[in-house]
Amino acid sequence: MNILVTGASRGIGKTIAETLDGNIFVSARSEDLLKHYRNYCVCDLALEAERLGRYIQENQIDVLINNAGEYIYSPIENITKPELEHILKVNLEAPLYLISKAVPYMKSKKWGRIINIGSISGVMGEAGASLYSASKAGLIGASKALALELAEFGITVNTINPGWVDTEMGNSSAEEGDFTKDEIIECIPQKRFVTPEEVAGMVKYLISDEAKGVTGQSINLCAGLSVGY
């Protein structure tokens, strides 16, 4: 099984790549953080998604995990057009493009797994992060549509929506906002951040044969944050 994880240099993506079994292929922007992998592709999805698209086709990827993403915290009136274009390109346009390159091989095999890492912000919305929320909401909608389109070919498409995750990105996002990490934790029903290992475990399940009937789902892995407070 050939598995590609984008954004694998750190955080959730790195943990996913280190957890899964199979022929692991990874991508990220920093070669220094990828060199310990056997198979890697250095790629900035905002500028050169086509390079990774070719890499996917050359290596006949069975499982595509779209994990790479970027976050911006800003009042809407301060958003610039380049910021808007950048977030949408990385968080929504690039994943859809990569899926388009992976699907032909998956169809030929009558089997495939596509897992998009969304965000609870795309489910609930997040004040001050409208671009991020919009891009992740779009990814959730696209996943549902693609699950319908690809179901007859044995390809499943699902989205995992982490809440606050104990990673470098998660902690820096907390620092950029209007609340301290302790204040954020107080608003989470389980009073904790989710771990990257929990996300990787959900990915591992969705790849398995036991999950072959799970498709088109938007799975909130958020320590209860989406339920209410």
Q: 71: closest CA among 187, 219, 189, 175?
A: 175
**Predicted pLDDT at 227:** 87
Segments making up each domain of the chain, as ranges: 2-221
- 55 is annotated as an active-site residue: no
Q: Let me know how long the chain is.
A: 229
Contact yes or no for 150/99 (Cβ under 8 A): no
Bridge partners (DSSP) listed for residue 26: 5, 40
Extract the residue ranges of the chain whose pLDDT is less than 70.
Answer: 169-178, 229
pLDDT per position as a tens digit, 106-129: 999 999 999 999 999 999 989 999
Name residue, tokens 């086509």. 50
Q: For residue 182, what pLDDT is reported?
A: 84
| Of 35, 33, 38, 34, residue with least CA distance to 2 | 38
* Partner residues linked to 116 by β-bridges: 66, 159
DSSP string, 145-173: HHHHHHGGGTEEEEEEEE-SBSSHHHHHH
Looking at residue 176, its pLDDT comes to: 61
SS3 183: helix
* CA-derived radius of gyration, the chain: 17
Contact assessment for residue 66 and residue 45, using Cβ atoms and an 8 Å cutoff: no
Specify which residues 219 forms β-bridges with. 160
The CATH architecture that domain 2-221 belongs to is: 3-Layer(aba) Sandwich (3.40)
From 40, 132, 205, 229, active-site residue: 132
Using CB atoms within 10 Å of the CB of residue 106, give its burial: 0 to 12 exposed, 13 to 18 middle, 19+ buried: buried
pTM: 0.93
**69, 93, 137, 152, 172 from 143: Cα distances, Å:** 16, 13, 10, 15, 28
- For residues 173 and 124, the answer to whether their CB atoms sit within 8 Å is no
Query: In the chain, where does DSSP find H-type helix?
Result: 11-19, 49-58, 81-88, 94-109, 121-124, 130-150, 168-176, 181-186, 196-207
Predicted local distance difference test score (pLDDT) of residue 97: 98
The DSSP code for 48 is -
Question: Kindly report the CA angle at 153 between 98 and 23, in degrees rounded to 5?
Answer: 55
Interatomic CA distance for residues 21 and 16, integer angstroms? 10
The β-bridge partners of 63 are 3, 113
